[in-house]
Structure 1
Amino acid sequence: MEGFEYKLDDLDLKILREMEGNGRQSVSDLARTLGTSRAHASRRLQRLLDRRVTRIAAFTNPYVLGYRVFALIGIRVVPSEIHITADRVGTLANVHLVAITAGRNDILIWTMFRSQAELSFFLGRGLGTIPGITSVETMIILQTRKMSFSYLMAAEAESKGNRGGTGEGGSHSVFQGSEVDIDQSDLRILKE
């Protein structure tokens, strides 16, 4: 979202902070916490959603869906093909993040697989079929220590001079190794 600017006021920040803490809360509860009317809170939240300042999303535990192998993959590309290659890589089902980068790699992707065999197939029959790629470096993630989508808390900590963080708050478990039973009804809900 390069170049995106939106001037946030104090109420916007309070709404974002509340929604980061509990995105499932009702607008009535949000209004009560903010000390404003339900109609006003609803309008302001809707404005933030409409202008793509925020969105409300569910994050599914990948382990429940059978994913066991997570990998960051650095890709080097023919310089004139970086953007088209990034777009092509982004169409592959196991790819969940595509970033054009500066440094040793031109593109960095985050991927998930059910097995190492699936990763191997992806490297040969997925990435291997995309023209313009000159080399690939696969880094299998052994353990995830932090994965946070709480950008507001990070920005507030930085503005208070806490650039390194304390390790408290703002982090959400990545569910690594969680054992949860789901049935077909659960899968249908997740797909909706």
Structure 2
Amino acid sequence: MSGGAGTVRSRCYNLSVDGVDDVDERLVRELQRDGRVSFETLARHVGLARSSVRTRVQRLVDARQVRVIGAIHPSVFGLEQLGHVTVRADGPVQEIAAAVAAMPESSFVTTTTGRFALTAELRTVDLPSFAVAVSEIQGIAGVHTVQVLNYLHIWKDPYFPPGTLQSIDLDAADHALLTALRRDGRASFTELAAATGITAGTARSRVLRLLDSGLVHIGALVRLDPLGDGRTVGFALQLHGEAGPVADKICGFEEVDSLVVGVGWCNAIGTIRVGNDDEVFATLERIRALPGVRTVESWSHLRAIKEENDLARRDASTG
């Protein structure tokens, strides 16, 4: 997911810029929902002047804590098989994490507490390729066991394009627009036109078409490295019966940033983002109390070794 089910960021406790307050967090949440929202609209949401909002957003961007990027649906790159892996290690995990992060199939890697040494999301073209990637991880020196959850449905993820994916034909201009948006989700239509060789009007219509199709979601990327003073906690569920009713209720919890249902060592994996341990416990208790939940296992994320949109940042630095 975005970052996969082991990661997410809709609540903004990751922000480590001095002086970040509730208004900044509200601004980032709005930008996560719609990265191209106007400063005028943001100002109305938080009750400040447009100039003050622009200054606050720019400060977060300049501090490299927030970037507004286009999160591209994996299918655009031919990646149809997504899954989550948890890894137990026989010894130190740093070199294992680095090796998993170096794999092109990994989109997110974090070190964790608990019985797992690290978690990762993998994206491949098909199931056989996914199996090869899992085997590669199993062959890394120091890896004890690997547990896999193959995704069936991504219920919630602020960095995965929401809604129903529509099949549309993409040409060279569309791919150029996606590349440009991946670098800067708030680029003007004039800037996008200059980057792709089409008119501003055509750029506007094509961007709206890409957004409507579900192939791209433009939102604020909050950096997870370091994770900051908040708590990022992953959890795995064993369920009774159908997963849908339980998943629907969990997705309504503001504290839950991501949730994926799949087939594998558990029925679902998600992430909680809150400010302190008491809120972690309270959220886990709410999940445990839901009808249909059999068991809940949880772990804390310590450090993001690889973030889903590392490629976008490399593109931005070299483009």
Structure 2: distance between partners of 1:173 and 1:121: 29
| 1:82-101 mapped onto 2 (5 Å cutoff) | 82-101=93-112
Distance of 2:62 and 2:129 partners within structure 1? 38
Q: Give the number of equivalent residue pairs.
A: 167
Deviations 1:65-111 (A, max 9, x none): 3222111112122222x012111211111101112123332111111
- Aligned pairs (5 A) from 1:2-151: 4=16, 6-31=18-43, 34-38=47-51, 40-80=52-92, 82-124=93-135, 126-148=136-158
Change (3 A) 1:140 1:21: closer
Q: Give the CA deviation at 1:116.
A: 1.0
The aligned counterpart of 2:208 is none
How far apart are 1:10 and its partner, in Å?
A: 4.9
Per-residue CA distance 1:31-61 (angstroms, 9 max, x = gap): 46644143x3322211111224422121111
Give the direction of change, closer, same or farther, for the CA distance of 1:191–1:132 in structure 2 (3 Å limit): farther
AA matched with 2:134 = L
> How has the CA–CA distance of structure 1 residues 136 and 47 changed in structure 2, closer, same or farther, with 3 Å as cutoff?
same
Task: Give the SS at the match of 1:141.
Answer: strand
Q: CA deviation at 1:4?
A: 3.8
Indicate how the Cα distance of structure 1 residues 146 and 10 shifts in structure 2: closer, same or farther if over 3 A, else same.
closer
Q: For residue 173 of structure 1, what is the aligned residue in structure 2?
A: 162
1:135 to 1:14, Cα distance in 2 relative to 1, 3 A: closer
TM-score for the superposition, normalised by structure 1:
0.70
* Residue pair 2:88, 2:144 contacting (<8 A) in 1 also: yes
Following superposition, the deviation at residue 14 of structure 1 comes to: 4.3
Deviation of the 1:30 alpha carbon = 3.8
Change (3 A) 1:42 1:145: closer
SS for the counterpart of 2:75 is coil
Specify which structure has the higher proportion of strand: 2
Distance 2:30 2:152 in 1: 33
Unaligned runs of 5+ in 1: 150-170
Identity of aligned residues (%): 22
Shift in alpha-carbon separation, 1:103–1:31, aligned structure 2, 3 A: closer
* Residue 115 of structure 1: how far off its partner (Å): 0.5
Runs ≥4 in structure 1, deviation > 4 angstroms? 31-35
8 A Cα contact 2:33 2:158, kept in partner: no
Q: Is the 8 A contact 1:67 1:115 kept in 2?
A: yes
Secondary structure of 2:85's counterpart equals: strand
Q: Which residue of 1 aligns with 2:174?
A: 186
**Higher relative contact order by CA 8 Å / sep ≥ 6: 1 or 2?**
2
The aligned amino acid for 2:162 is: S
Asked if 2 retains the 8 angstrom alpha-carbon contact of 1:6 and 1:53, the reply is no
Q: What whole-Å deviation, never above 9, does each CA across 1:91-144 have from its counterpart, x for those lacking one?
A: 1111011121233321111111110121122233x3255322222222211222
Any stretches of 5+ residues in structure 2 without a counterpart?
1-12, 181-319
**Distance 1:134-1:10 versus aligned 2 partners, 3 A rule:** closer
Q: Secondary structure at the match of 2:69?
A: coil
Query: Contact conserved, 2:82 with 2:122, CA < 8 A, in 1?
Result: yes
